[in-house]
Amino acid sequence: MHNKHDENKIINQQNNHDAGGLNVQDPLAAIKAIRLEQLAQCRLKTQKEIQHMQNKK
């Protein structure tokens, strides 16, 4: 059974994160997470392109 304290804790957790799940209390950490995701996507794209070129040989 939830009490008022539990409900407030959940609301505070939701308020500290934006729709993307990034912590708005630490904007630098949010930016870092975004950039790391972009880097991972870029690496995956590059890896697929290299594999595609190797398959053409």
Give DSSP secondary structure letters for 28-41: HHHHHHHHHHHHHH
Q: What is the mean pLDDT of the chain?
A: 80
Q: Residue 17, SS3?
A: strand
Q: Encode pLDDT of 40-57 as tens digits.
A: 999 999 999 999 999 987
Range of the domain at 46: 4-56
pLDDT value at 30 more than 60: yes
Number of domains present in the structure of the chain = 1
The contacts of residue 18 (CB under 8 Å, 6+ apart) are 24, 30
pLDDT value at 21 more than 70: no
pLDDT, residue 55, reads 92
